[in-house]
Structure 1
Amino acid sequence: MGSSRDKSGLVALLGADVVSTLGNWVSVIVLPWLVLVSTGSPAKMGLVAAAGQVPYLLSSLLAPPLADRFGLRRTSIMADLGSALSMAAIAAVPGIGYLPLLGLVGFAGALRGVGDRAKHVLLKPMAEAADVPIIRVTALYETLNRTTQMVGAPLGGLLIFWLGTRPAVLVDAVSFAACAALVGLLVRPPGPAAEPATERYLVALRGGARFLLGDQVLVAMMLSIFLVNVLTQSGTTVFIPLWVAEVLRSPAALGVVLGAFATGGVLGSLTFTVLAPRMPRYLTFAVGITVAGAPRLFALSSHSLALVLVVTFVSGLGISAVNPIFGAMLYERVPAGLQTRVFGLAGAVCSAGLPIGATLAGAVVTGLGLHTAVLLGGVLYLAVSLLPLRRIRVDQMAVK
């Protein structure tokens, strides 16, 4: 059994990730607002949001070999300290120009990308030291992540209201410093996990890509999540808001519908945390994707808010199992020495579906109309749901 110190290290690592995620979501609200009040330009608001997201994705993809060489724990600590300093600089300089602001936001985004990858890879050795099944840890991580996302955006708005914009940015800086302190003081990965790697950069990067692309199960799951993110983002950012505007004509209903999905996701994650060790991994993953996607879009063909809320809630329950299972199978199928770079590549590919989804949805609705676009999206989502099953035999689905 893991010692109390080992368990406290795992709790501290999960807590650090929660604090980091909370800081990220506060940034998503506070920084564009800072740009709006200082420049009055909606276009510049969009650019400052992209300035954090694009470096984050690129860093997740390209920086993991550097994290392996530097050491995962040290990478996590330094990335959070760098993010804290970047946010503190923005808060401390009232007349900071727009370009320096973009540079600091991009720098912090790049640091968070590699820092998050380091924390994720540290979860397995810390879970093993604490004697906690990794599937339960990934399910708990998903629960905490979803809950933090629900809290982070409203908290950003409240901080602006209570403190003002620049003090809210300073609170964001403090959150990253607290994250670094948690990892620095309490997280001590055992054995090989604490030792830096020595491979050359390009060799390490190619090795991770080669391993991931050679695993048929992981590739099928990764592509499924990428396509699911494309279609889910289409629904969240375009289809559902337009349906609410055309059918219900009430902005309040938009929050209710999106809240039903988030609530289902949190409750599903809590339930899956308890049941996960006894459930077949791959089959549960495929069923979760099926439940989470097509029904939610097909329901938009009706004019019933009650039906949409029920289906959306159930879809949230379904999606709650997808990320934890993919994460657990990555931990179990990828050798420890390759995990940082494989996780980075897989995360970048999956996340790339988010900006693509919103862009495609807008174009399709413009060309075909909302009703046709929603039906087409539902059919595509149903086809995507079958992707994980196409090339894998049924007896491979019960991987535990």
Structure 2
Amino acid sequence: MPSDAARFPRSSPYWPVVSHPLLRRVLPGLAVSALGDGMAVVAVTWLAIQLAPHGQRGTWIAVAMAAYTLPSAAGTVVFGRLLRGRSGAQLAGWDAILRASALAAIPLAHLAGVLTIGLYVILLAASALLHSWGSAGRFTLIAEVLPERHHLPANAVLGTIGGFATIVGPPLAGILIGWAGPVWVIAVDAATFAALALTYRFALPATGRATGHERGASRTAGFAVIRHNPALLGLLALSLGFFFLFGPVYVAMPIHITDDLHASATLLGVYYTAFGVGGLVGSLVAGHLRHLPLRATTIGIVVAFGVAMLPLGLGVPVGLSLPAFALAGLIWAPYMSTSMALFQRSTSTVQLPAVLAANGAILVLAVPLGTMLGGPLVGAIGARPTLLFCATAIVTLGLIAGGIAISRRSARSPGDSAVTEISASR
């Protein structure tokens, strides 16, 4: 009988994903655009520094970064009637077209000599309007073309692509910025989204338009579905709390490095790199979690992540806190894959785009709001206590979610539990 090693790669949970006749055409485009976005994280802030008045750089950097993400929340509502009921490929493709067009306008305005910090922020905001719908489209496409048992590995493939891009993209952007300037890195990002848009247009078969009923549906239909589904509402609340409580870490970590450890920005970069490398490994591992109960696994990730963050808050030596932070990244990475799989199995493919867009619109606000809390929190109690507070609060959140899940499970009749287990094992 052949061993698993002899049957690799066909024995891998990722083989049905990467070998799928439709997905294998799209994955290269997704990888290229993810790399472009990884570079844009650096380029967006660097170009803001160049365009902003000298005394207002900090403010404009924050505004530019917010403009690159937050408008997607408004886009979820504004375009709800138009986009609800569209196929996953259509949604992801339209997001790619808008991003390519708006980002390409930045270097064009630069060449024309009319690029100001105000116009720059407006174009960044325009590029982000369909971001929640585009993300929803990618996960909807997975639900449309793959059976349920392959959803988690497919989600993990998307997470792995994103994790790789966050490690490779920023240093590559630094090289290109030094050679040509940040505006041309943004031009490269626009080109990667144009390539992705062409991939969706020509690599996938055309699908019909939404029905008139779907076009006329409420702009907030996705929010309504979540509100009336206790399982999805609980999952959204867990994700919102998880991401919000992580937000202050972005404020506390730099201050902890400088004030408590008396170290340079280099050490901060090492911490973030360790987290990113751990996240990449975690994304690769996520696909192998498909045989575990998804809801319990998702809650367990929250608890384990909080535990892994405790060494930072307890002030242990760098030799221990650095690997703990890498472990936290490893634990963090599968969360999006497992939570998306829960949405995919709990919602029909017709409702899924609107539901995922609503979920994304709320979650895109969570980390920025938590980061805003981080400023006064660090000022009030200090950087290291803030890290300890975040870690213990995340552990508490996970334990509360676990307790609620256990109480709900106990309240079900044996027949209901059996049906649930059969459904979960499909």
TM-score of the superposition, structure 1-length normalised? 0.88
Distance 1:65 1:340, change over 3 A: farther
State yes or no: 1:222 paired with 2:236: yes
* Distance (Å, rounded) in 1 between the aligned partners of 2:286 and 2:16: 25
How many residues are aligned here? Answer: 393
Q: Distance in 2 between matches of 1:165 and 1:295?
A: 36
1:161 equivalenced with 2:212 (yes/no): no
Consecutive unaligned residues of structure 2, counting only runs of 5 or more, are 1-9, 411-416
The 3 A distance-change label for structure 1 pair 310 and 277 is: same
- The answer for the alignment partner of 1:233 in structure 2 is 247
- What residue number does 1:176 align with? 193
Task: Please show how residues 120-135 of structure 1 align to structure 2 within 5 Å.
Answer: 120-128=139-147, 133-135=150-152
Structure 1 window deviating more from structure 2 (92-101 vs 262-271): it is 92-101
Report if the CA contact (8 A) 1:69-1:199 is conserved.
no
Match of 2:329 in 1: 316
User: Secondary structure of the residue that 1:337 maps to in structure 2?
Assistant: coil
Counterpart Cα distance in 2 of 1:258 and 1:143: 17
Query: Does the CA-based 8 Å contact 1:298-1:374 persist in structure 2?
Result: no
Written as runs of structure 1 = structure 2, the 5 A alignment for 1:241-390 is 241-251=254-264, 252-273=266-287, 275-390=288-403
**Bigger share in helix:** 1
Note the C-alpha offset of 1:162. 2.5
Alpha-carbon distance, 1:210 to partner: 2.4
Residues 133-160 of structure 1: per-residue CA shift (max 9 Å, x gap): 1111112221222222222222322221
| Distance change >3 Å, CA 368–CA 172, structure 1 → 2 | same
Distance 2:397 2:137 in 1: 30
In 2, the alpha carbon distance for the partners of 1:23 and 1:256 equals 22
Aligned counterpart, 1:114 = 133
Separation of aligned partners in 2, 1:186 and 1:5 = 15
Aligned to 1:49: 65
Q: Distance in 2 between matches of 1:304 and 1:194?
A: 59
Q: CA deviation at 1:302?
A: 2.1
2:226 to 207, 212, 223: 212
Q: Percent identity?
A: 19
Counterpart-to-counterpart distance in 1, 2:226 and 2:122: 32
Report the TM-score when normalising by structure 2: 0.83
Deviations 1:225-251 (A, max 9, x none): 11111122212x122222221333222
The answer on whether the counterparts of 1:68 and 1:197 sit within 8 Å (CA) in structure 2 is no
Distance 1:369 1:44, change over 3 A: closer
Indicate how the Cα distance of structure 1 residues 297 and 357 shifts in structure 2: closer, same or farther if over 3 A, else same: farther
Contact 1:13 1:119 in 2 (8 A): no
Give the match's secondary structure for 2:114.
coil
Where has structure 1 moved over 6 Å in runs of 4 or more? 1-6, 395-398
Classify the secondary structure of the residue corresponding to 1:86. Answer: helix
Partner of 1:136: 153
Counterpart position of 2:22: 9
Q: Give the Cα–Cα distance (whole angstroms) in 1 for the partners of residues 358 and 134 of structure 2.
A: 14
- The alpha-carbon deviation at position 257 of structure 1 amounts to 1.8
Which structure 1 segments of 5+ residues have no match? none
